Structure 1
Amino acid sequence: MKALTWRGVNETAVETVDDPTILNDRDVILKVRLTTTCGSDLHLLGGYIPAMRAGDVLGHEFMGEVVEVGKAVQKHKVGDRVTVCSFIACGECWYCRHEQYSLCDNGNPNPALTETLWGSAIGGCFAYSHALGGFAGSHAEYVRVPYADHGAFTVPDGVSDTAALFASDAAPTGWTGADLAGITPGDTVAVWGAGGVGQMAARAAMLLGAEQVVVIDRLPERLEQVRQHIGAETLDYTSDSVIAELKERTGGRGPDVCIEAVGMEAHSTGPAYLYDQLKQQLRLQSDRPTALREAIYACRKGGSLFALGVFGGVVDKFPFGAIMNKGMTVRGAQQHGHRYIPRILQHIADGELTTEHLATHVMPLDEGPKGYRMFKEKQDGCVRAVFQPGS
C-alpha cells in the first residue's frame, strides 16, 4: 500500500510499504478515508522528538471504514465508519479505569525511553516515534488499530467524514484541556494558539460554561476562523500587549483559566523568543516555552493553567516563582480522548460544535509532502492539510 513516511529532518516521501495485518485478537484493520496533519507532527519533522526512524509512517488523526476485525472485537464489524483516538489505551489497566487513557500502562510496548525521560512511561500513540510505541500511522491506505473496542468510535449518521476526522485528536485534545483546567460557569478563559486544538479548546470552554473566551494568535486566517466558527474573542499578539489586554478585559485580574495550546515550538515577538529559538536550535534546551511563560504571567492570582501543547523535555527560564507566589494550579496532559469522543460526536451531530472548517486544504495522499510544506510554512492560509488515501 501507499503511505507517507518520515525520511529525516523536514523530509517526507510517499512510498510503498507492507499492508497492516491483525496482530492481536482485539485489533481491527481500517481503510483510511481521511487523515490530517497536526501541529505536533511538526515536532517530528523538525527532529525534536527522539526515536524516529527513516520509513516510519506518519499520521495520528484519522477516520475510516473497518475492513477486518480480530476474533475478540465485540463493538465493531466490517463496514463500520469510525473515528479513532490518536492515543492507544487498553481500557482495562488502573489508569484506563480512572479515565486517564493517555497514561495507559499497556498502550506503549516500548516504555524504556519515556521512563528515562519523564520518570514513567505514558501510553502509546499512532506514529509518534518509537518512544511512544512505534505504531504505524494513518497517512496510509490502511492502518491497524489496537484495542479497537476502546479506541475506535462509530460515527453517527449525519456526521460527515470531515467533521468526524477532527473528533480523532484536535477536538478531544482541546476538550481534555478545557475540562481538566477546571472551568466553571462564568469564567474568563484565555487560549494561546488558534490552530485546530486551540480552537477546539476554546469551543469546549464555551460549552462548559465559560462566559468570556479569548484566543491568542498571530495568523489572520486562524483568528478569523475563531470569530466565525467558534464564536470567541480574539487577540493578535503581534499588535497588542497580551498581558495588558487580558487584564483590561478582566477588570485588572487576568483570566481565571489559561490554556496553552501551542507547545514546544512557540512563536512570539521580542528577545525572549529569539533566546528560546537559539537555545533550541543549538540543542541547549529541547522546547521553546515562550507562550507557556506568557500564560503563567497573564493568569490571575489563584487561577488555573493547563499546558495542552506538546512538550518533550526541558525548558529554560521557567517562572516557577510566579506559579507559587500567585497560588496557581498547573496541570498538563496528552489527550484522554476515549473519555470525550462520544460526547464530541454528539455535539457535532447536534450542531453545537463545528470542525469541518479546519480542513482548509484537502488533497490526495500522493501530495502529502506538499501538504506538509504548506502546513509547516502556513502557506495559502493552510490551517490543516487533509489527505484522502483512496483518491
Structure 2
Amino acid sequence: MQAVTWQGRKDIRVEEVPDARIEEPTDAVIRVTSTGLCGSDLHLYDPLTPFMTPGDIVGHEPMGVVEAVGAQVSALSVGDRVVVPFNISCGSCWMCERRLYSQCETTQNRETGTGASLFGYSSLYGAVPGGQAELLRVPFADFLPVKVPHGPPDDRFVYLSDVLPTAWQGVEYAAIPEGGTLLVLGAGPIGDMATRIALHRGIRVIVVDRVPERLARVSARGAEILDLGEIDDVAEQVRGLTGGRGADSVLEAVGMEAHGSPVAEAVQKSLRLLPKKLQQLMMTNLSVERLAALYLAFEAVRRGGTVSISGVYGGTSDPMPMMQLFDKQLQLRMGQANVRAWTDELLALLQQDEDHLGVEGFATHHLPLDAAPQAYASFQAKEDGMVKVLFRP
C-alpha cells in the first residue's frame, strides 16, 4: 500500500509499505477514503523529530470503509463506513469508564510517561502506524471506530477523528458563562472550528490571528477579528471590547509554534545539533516552549475567567506567571481531546439536514496522497491560503 512516511526533519515521503493487516482478533482494517493533515502533524515535521524513526507512517485523522474484521469483532461488518478517532482507547478500563479516553490505561505509554497511544504520532505515543495511508489497522474495533451512514460526502464526517471533538472539548472546557465572550487565539483548523461551534451556540467570539485568509474565514462566520500583525497590545484591545474587564474565557489554539517567542525558538532549533538520544533527553526533561500565545491568554482573560488550552505543548521546564494566575484567580483546563466522549453528540448534529458548522466547505485543499510532501511544507509556511488539507488515498 502507499503511505506517507517520515524520513527526517522536514523530509516527508510517500512510499510503498506492507499492507496493514489484522494482528489481534479485536482488530479491523479499513480502506482509507479521506485523511486529514493536522497542525499537530507539523510538530513531527519539526521540532519533535527526536522521537521519530525513518519510515514511520504518519497521520491521525482518517475515515474509510471496513475491509476486514478480526474473529472477535461483532459491532462492525465489512463494508461499514467509519471514522477513526486519533487516540486509541479500549473503552473498558478505569480511565475509559470515566470518559477520559485520551488517558486509556490499556494503551498508555508508561515508558515515556505519556497518555493513550495515538495513530501516527511518534515513539512518545506508541509508534502506531498512522492514517495517511491506503489501509489502516484499527485496534478495539468494537469500540473505537465511529460508524457513520453511507451517502453524504466524507467531508461531512471526517472531522470526527480529531478537529470536531478537539474544538468541541475546547469550548466545553472554556466554560463560557451565559452572555459571555470567548476569545479564540489562533484561527487554524482547531481555532476556526471552535469559533464555529461557539457561534452556533450563540456565543460572542473574538478571534486573534495574523494570517489574512484565516481571519477572513472566521469573520465570514460572524466572529469579530483582531489582526495580530497590526495591533501592539492585543490584551488591551480585548479589554476595550469587553467593558474593560477582558474576555470571560480564552481558548488557546496555537500551542508550541507560537510567534513572538524568539529565545525559546532559538533553543528548540539548537537541539538539532545534538545526538538523537540527547535531544530526546533534553526535550523530555529540560526543554522550553514558545509561550507567547499562552501568556497572551493569561493577560487577555478577565479576573476569575477560564483559559482552555487546545494547542499542543511539549516543554517541561517552562516559566509560568504563577503570581498572575493566582492573583487573577484563573481556571485552566487542557489536554488531548477525549474523542469518544463527544462523538455521539457531534454525530447527531452532523446528521441533521443543515450543515450547521460548515464542515462540507471546511477543507481548503483536497489532494491526492502523493501530494503530501509539498502539502506539509506549504501548510507549515501558511502558503496558498492553506487552512485544512484532506488527502484522498
Flag whether TM exceeds 0.5 (same fold): yes
In the alignment, what sits opposite 1:194?
187
Q: What CA distance in whole angstroms lies between the structure 1 residues aligned with 2:222 and 2:106?
A: 39
Contact 2:38 2:61 (C-alpha < 8 Å) held by counterparts: yes
- Using the TM superposition, give the Cα deviation of residue 157 of structure 1 relative to its aligned residue in structure 2, in angstroms: 4.8
**What amino acid does structure 1 have at the position aligned with 2:344?**
P
TM-superposed CA distance for 1:205, in Å, is 2.5
Choose which of 153, 173, 177 in structure 1 pairs with 2:146. 153
Name the CA distance, whole Å, in 2 between partners of 1:41 and 1:315: 23
- Which residue of 347, 354, 373 corresponds with 2:377? 373
Q: What residue is the counterpart of 1:38 in the other structure?
A: 38
Q: Take 2:91 and 2:172, find their aligned partners in 1: how far apart are those partners? A: 20
Q: Which one-letter code corresponds to 2:269 in the other structure?
A: Q
- 2:360 maps to what in 1? 356
Query: CA offset at residue 315 of structure 1?
Result: 5.1
Contact 1:156-1:345 within 8 A present in 2 as well: no
After TM superposition, give the deviation of residue 163 of structure 1 in Å: 2.4
- Pair 1:103-2:107 in alignment: no
- Superposed CA deviations along residues 226-276 of structure 1, whole A, max 9, x for unmatched, are 122x432221111123101110111011111111111111124xxxx2233
Q: What SS does structure 2 have at the residue aligned with 1:36?
A: strand
Assess if the C-alpha contact under 8 Å between 1:183 and 1:205 holds in 2.
no
Q: Provide the C-alpha distance between the structure 2 equivalents of 1:245 and 1:47, rounded to a whole number of angstroms.
A: 32
- 1:68 is matched with 68
Does the alignment pair 1:215 with 2:207? yes
How many pairs does the alignment contain?
376
Q: CA RMSD of the aligned region, Å?
A: 1.6
Partner of 1:274: 262
> Distance between the aligned counterparts of 1:185 and 1:200, measured in 2?
20
1:183 aligns with 2:176: yes
Deviation at 1:332, TM superposition (A): 0.8
Local SS of the residue matching 2:333? strand
Q: TM-score, normalised by structure 2?
A: 0.91
Q: Output the CA distance in 1 between the equivalents of 2:334 and 2:270.
A: 26
> Within 1, Cα distance between the matches of 2:70 and 2:91?
17
Regions of 4+ moved over 4 Å? none
* Corresponding residue for residue 237 of structure 1: 228
Query: Do the aligned partners of 1:347 and 1:353 also contact (CA within 8 Å) in 2?
Result: no
Residue 208 of structure 1 deviates from its aligned partner by: 4.4
Instruction: Point out where structure 2 has 5 or more consecutive residues left out of the alignment.
Output: 272-285
- Aligned partners of 1:349, 1:199: CA distance in 2, in Å? 21
Deviation at 1:128, TM superposition (A): 0.6
Q: Distance in 1 between matches of 2:380 and 2:6?
A: 15
Deviation at 1:103, TM superposition (A): 0.7
CA offset at residue 285 of structure 1? 3.4
Offset of residue 87 of structure 1: 0.6
1:204 match: 197
How far 1:345 sits from its partner (Å)?
2.4
**% same residue:** 40
The separation in 1 between residues aligned to 2:3 and 2:390, in whole angstroms, is 14
Measured after TM superposition, the shift of residue 49 of structure 1 is 5.4
